[in-house]
Amino acid sequence: MMTITAHPTTTRPAYTPARAMKKIVILGATSGIALEVQRQLAHQGRELLLVARSPQRLAEIQADLAIRGARQILTYSADLASVQQHAGIFEFVQRAFADFDTVLLAYGSMHDQKDSETSVDVLLEELTVNFVSATAILTLFASDLEQRRTGCLAAITSVAGDRGRRSNYVYGSAKGALSLFLQGLRSRLHPAGVRVITIKPGPVRTPMTDHLANSARFGDPEQVARDIVRALERRSPDVLYTPKIWRYIMGAVQQIPENIFKRLSF
Amino acid sequence: MSGQSAAKLRKQSGVPPPTERILSWGRYPKIAHQRVHKPAWNDQVPEIFNAAAPGALLPYGLGRSYGDSCLNAGRELIDCRRLNRILDFDASTGMIRCESGVSLSDIIDVFLPKGWFLPVTPGTRFVTVGGAIANDVHGKNHHCAGTFGAHVRQIGLHRSNDGLVICSSRENPDMLGATIGGLGLTGVIAWADIQLKRVSGPWIDAESIPFQSLSAFLDLSRESNDRFEYTVAWLDCFAGKNPRGIFFRGNHSPSHGAEFHPKRGPKLPFALPAWMLNRYSVKAFNTVYYKIHAASKGVAVVPYDSFFYPLDSIRQWNLLYGRQGFLQYQCVIPDTNLGAFEELLDRIARSGMGSFLGVLKQFGSAPAAGMLSFPRPGLTIALDFAMRGERTLKLLQSLDEIVQQSGGALYPAKDARMSPALFEASFPHWRSFVPYIDPKMSSSFWRRVTGAQ
C-alpha cells in the first residue's frame, strides 16, 4: 500500500482545464479554516471525508454539513500528529472513499514562541505537528494520486514560513519547511497531472490565533476559505496567498536585507 | 490541529489574552471588558465556567442589543459566535436543533430554500438564536404568533453548577421560562430546538397605506390583524399628537415561486460626523420618505428581505449616529391609555430630537413566553435618539415618567439608562427570576437596574 513508485517516464498535459472536484479528504477537519472551507464545500453539494481527533466534534460537524447540503460525509477519528496512526487513516480512506480526488491538509499548531525557546519538548512537538506528520501523511496520499494520475493535493502552510522572524520562527520554520516540501512534491507530481497547492494564509481569526495580540484585526476565515475553495476548483495558482494582499507584503518583507531584518523585533 | 495542548500551554505560560473592544449596537456606553472567551465547541464551555469567579461571565452573540444588556463592564464575556452549527433538522415537521451562535440569517439561508422560515423574526436577521431567546424578541407577527420564545421547544443549557440542563415544557419548565427573555443570565445555551414555519417561498404580498393620525393607525391595525400575518408602521415622530406614517402589512405570497437572488448591500465604512444628523436633515428625510411611500401606496409582491429587514441592506447603519452613538427607546403602553401615548409623541415632537426610525406596532394578547418577556398587550413604539449627552438623557427621563404612570414598560434589549424604579415598574415580578440566575453570570444592565453585585 505504501509503495512509492519511481517517476513515470511518460508525460501528458499537466492539468485538465476544469477540475472535477467531487470527493474531498480534509485532514484536520476541526481547525478554524477547515470549518469554513467545509461549509462552502457542503453548500456546493460535495462529498467529504473528514479526519480529526475528537469523535464528538466530528459528529457535530457531520450533522451540520449534511443539513447544509453535503452529498455524503464520512468521518474518521485519529490524531494526525501521531505518524503511527497514519496507516489506519489511509486504509480507511482507501476502503471507504477510494476515488477521492482532492486532499486538503488543514491542521497545524501554534504554541507561544517563548515556550519553544525554553522547552525542547514544545519545540519538537511544534515541528512534528506542523512539518514531520504533515509530510508523512501527504506522502501516502501523493503516491496514491500519482498512481491514479489524477487529483489535487493542497496544504495550508503560512506566510510565517516565508521569512524567519524573532517572534514566531519555530512555527515559521516548520511551515516554511512544509512549503519547500510541497514545492518539491509539486515538481514530482507534475508529470502525473496531479496538482499541488501551497496555501499561505496571513494571520486569520481562528482559535489558533486568539492568544496573539491584535487578533481581532486578523483576516476573516470565511474570506480565506472562499479563496481556498476557488483555488481548489481551478487550475491555478500553485501558491495561494490569502488574503491576496499578503503576496505583496511578503514580497516586500523578503527584500529586506538580512543585516537590517535581524534588528527588527516583529 | 493540536488546539488542546496549545491551550494548556498558554494557560501555563500565563500570557494574558488580549482584550478587544466590544460595543453594543447603540455604541453607548463605551466600556471595556477584562476578557473575551471564544469557545468554538460546546465541550469547552464548562472549562470557562470552572475558571471564572462568581458573577464574572455573560454570553455574547452578534451584539445587536442596543444598550448594556449584552455587556459586562470590567468582567468577562463568552462570545458564542463560533458555536454556530445546526445539529438536527426534521424535514417533515420543520423542527431544527441548533447551537446558540447560529444566526437567524444563517437559518434563513439554509432553510428558506427548503420551504421553511423563522416562526418570528425581529427587524434584523443578524442576531443569534441565543440572543433571540435571551431577549425573547418579537416581530411584525406578534399579534398572531407571539414572541420567538413561544416557538422554542427545548433547550440545552450550560449551568456552572449542574452541567448541561435540559429544559422543556416537561423537564425543568421553570428554567425554560426563566431563560426565555432571561438576558443571558441563566447560563449559556448549548443548543435550542426551534419550530420553523412552512412557507411557500421567499416573497411577500405587501401593502403600504399612509395614515395621518393615531386613531387612523389603530383602525388600520384592528382591521388588518385578522387578515394579515405581518403588520407594522413607520411613524414620523416630528408630527406630534397627530402623527403621519405608513402602515405596512403583508402575508407570505402563495403563488410567486421560489426563485430568489439575494443582493449584498452597501456598508457604512465609518462613523458619520455628528452634525450631519440634525432636526432639519431628519425632518427632510422623513418628509421624503413619507411622500415616496404615500405616492407608491398599494399592493406589491416584494422579496422577504426588503419587507422584514430594510435596515440590514445598509451594513453598520448604527454608524450613522456618529462617534457618540445613540440610544433606542422602546416602550409599550396599554391600549387603554391612548392619552399617555399621545403625550409621549407630543414630547418627542416638541424636543426636536427624534430620528427617522420610528416604528409602531400593536402587540397581540399572547401570554408571555418568558418570566421577563417584554411584549404585552398595548402599543409599542421604538425610536432612535442620537446621544447628545445630558439633554438626550433628560428627554428620555421625561418619557420614562409617562411610561411609568401609564402602567407601561421599557424593553431591556434597547436600554442603556432606565432607572431601577422603572425596571421594577416594567417587570414587577423580577425578584422571582433571581433564583434562576447562574451564580457565575451577571451583566452591566442587571447590576444597573437591580443593584446586584
User: pLDDT tens digit string along B430-453?
Assistant: 999 999 999 999 999 999 999 998
Is B265 found in the same domain as B185? no
Name the interface residues of B facing A (CB cutoff 8 Å).
1-3, 5-6, 9-10, 13, 15, 17-18, 20-21, 38, 40-43, 82, 85-89, 110
Closest by CA position to B329, among listed B257, B428, B400, B379? B400
Q: Which residue of A has its CA nearest to B37?
A: A210
Is B389 found in the same domain as B351? yes
Of B9, B20, B41, Cβ closest to residue A111: B9
CATH of the domain at B218: 3.40.462.10
Task: State pLDDT tens for residues B31-48.
Answer: 999 999 999 999 999 999
Total number of domains in chain A? 1
Is B217 found in the same domain as B359? yes
Q: A82 lies in a domain?
A: yes
Q: A197 lies in a domain?
A: yes
Q: Percent helix, strand and coil across chain A, each rounded to 5? A: 50, 15, 35
The pLDDT assigned to B259 comes to 65
Task: State pLDDT tens for residues A130-180.
Answer: 999 999 999 999 999 999 999 999 999 999 999 999 999 999 999 999 999
Q: A101 lies in a domain?
A: yes
Chain B residues with CB inside 8 Å of A63's CB?
Answer: 85-88
Q: A1 lies in a domain?
A: no
In which band, very low, low, confident or very high, does the pLDDT at A14 lie, cut at 50, 70 and 90?
very low
The whole-angstrom distance between B190's CA and the closest CA on chain A is 12
Q: B65 lies in a domain?
A: no
pTM: 0.91
Does residue B256 surpass a pLDDT of 80?
no
What value of ipTM does the predicted structure carry?
0.88
Of A67, A207, A211, Cβ closest to residue B86: A67
Better-predicted residue by pLDDT, B78 or B17: B78
Total number of domains in chain B? 2
The C-alpha atoms of residue B201 and residue B283 are separated, in whole angstroms, by 37
The C-alpha atoms of residue B69 and residue B418 are separated, in whole angstroms, by 12
In which band, very low, low, confident or very high, does the pLDDT at B12 lie, cut at 50, 70 and 90?
very low
CA distances to B19, B179, B219, B372 from B158, rounded to whole Å, are 24, 11, 46, 20
In which band, very low, low, confident or very high, does the pLDDT at A235 lie, cut at 50, 70 and 90?
confident
Contact between chains at A207 and B3 (C-beta distance less than 8 A): yes
Q: B56 lies in a domain?
A: no
Q: Fill in the DSSP letter of residue B194.
A: E
Cβ-contact B277, B355 below 8 angstroms: yes
Q: Which residue of A has its CA nearest to B88?
A: A63
Q: B435 lies in a domain?
A: no
CA distances to B38, B77, B274, B440 from B23, rounded to whole Å, are 16, 12, 18, 22
Which one of B171, B199, B227 terminates a domain?
A: B199
Is B231 found in the same domain as B114? no
Q: Which of A31, A64, A65 is the best mutation test for B, with the most CBs of B within 10 A?
A: A64
Average confidence (pLDDT) over B357-372: 92
Does residue B183 surpass a pLDDT of 50?
yes
The C-alpha atoms of residue B60 and residue B69 are separated, in whole angstroms, by 10
In which band, very low, low, confident or very high, does the pLDDT at B278 lie, cut at 50, 70 and 90?
confident
Contact between chains at A210 and B17 (C-beta distance less than 8 A): yes
Give the bridge partners for B59, in sequence order: B78
The residues, any chain, with a CB within 8 Å of residue B163's CB and separated by 6 or more, are: B46
Is B164 found in the same domain as B250? no
The C-alpha atoms of residue A162 and residue A175 are separated, in whole angstroms, by 9
Q: B39 lies in a domain?
A: no
Q: How do B230-235 and B358-363 pair as beta strands?
A: antiparallel
Q: Tell me if chain B has a CB within 8 Å of the CB of A81.
A: yes
CATH of the domain at B93: 3.30.465.10
Of B5, B18, B88, Cβ closest to residue A213: B18
Is B303 found in the same domain as B158? no
As given in the structure block, the three cell numbers for residue A259 are 543585516
Cβ-contact B315, B267 below 8 angstroms: yes
Q: Which residue of A has its CA nearest to B41?
A: A57
Contact between chains at B2 and A56 (C-beta distance less than 8 A): no
Contact between chains at A207 and B110 (C-beta distance less than 8 A): no
In which band, very low, low, confident or very high, does the pLDDT at B151 lie, cut at 50, 70 and 90?
very high
Q: At what angle do helices A169-189 and A120-127 cross, to 10 degrees?
A: 30
The C-alpha atoms of residue B408 and residue B263 are separated, in whole angstroms, by 39
Is B234 found in the same domain as B169? no
Q: Give me the total of CB pairs closer than 8 Å, taking one residue from chain A and one from chain B.
A: 75
Chain A residues with CB inside 8 Å of B38's CB?
Answer: 207, 210
In which band, very low, low, confident or very high, does the pLDDT at B11 lie, cut at 50, 70 and 90?
very low
CATH of the domain at A151: 3.40.50.720
Cβ-contact B282, B348 below 8 angstroms: no
The C-alpha atoms of residue B19 and residue B79 are separated, in whole angstroms, by 12
Which one of B199, B226, B260 terminates a domain?
A: B199
Closest by CA position to B41, among listed B192, B191, B194? B191
As given in the structure block, the three cell numbers for residue B450 are 437591580
Which amino acid is located at B350 in the chain? Answer: R
The pLDDT assigned to B8 comes to 45
Q: Which of A210, A218, A222, A226 is the best mutation test for B, with the most CBs of B within 10 A?
A: A210
Question: Of the given ranges (A97-101, B243-247, B284-288, B440-444), which has the lowest mean pLDDT?
Answer: B284-288
The C-alpha atoms of residue B88 and residue B193 are separated, in whole angstroms, by 9
Is B212 found in the same domain as B193? no
Task: Count CB neighbours of B82 within 10 A.
Answer: 20
Is B231 found in the same domain as B178? no
Give the domain range for residue B186: 86-199
Q: A3 lies in a domain?
A: no
Top-confidence range, A25-29, A109-113, B216-220: A25-29
Chain B residues with CB inside 8 Å of A216's CB?
Answer: 18, 20-21
CA distances to A107, A118, B2, B66, B167 from A115, rounded to whole Å, are 20, 5, 15, 42, 44
Q: Tell me if chain B has a CB within 8 Å of the CB of A115.
A: yes
Give the residue ranges of DSSP H helices in B319-419. 338-351, 390-405
How much is the CA Rg of chain B, to the nearest whole Å?
22
Contact between chains at A210 and B41 (C-beta distance less than 8 A): no
Does residue B375 surpass a pLDDT of 60?
yes
Give the domain range for residue A100: 23-261
Does residue A25 surpass a pLDDT of 80?
yes
Q: A13 lies in a domain?
A: no
Is B97 found in the same domain as B211? no
Q: Tell me if chain B has a CB within 8 Å of the CB of A40.
A: no
Chain A residues with CB inside 8 Å of B82's CB?
Answer: 207
Contact between chains at A61 and B85 (C-beta distance less than 8 A): yes
Q: Tell me if chain B has a CB within 8 Å of the CB of A108.
A: yes
CA distances to A70, B122, B140, B209, B307 from B232, rounded to whole Å, are 39, 12, 6, 11, 11
Give the 3-state secondary structure of residue A64: helix
The C-alpha atoms of residue B120 and residue B118 are separated, in whole angstroms, by 5
Which one of B199, B234, B250 terminates a domain?
A: B199
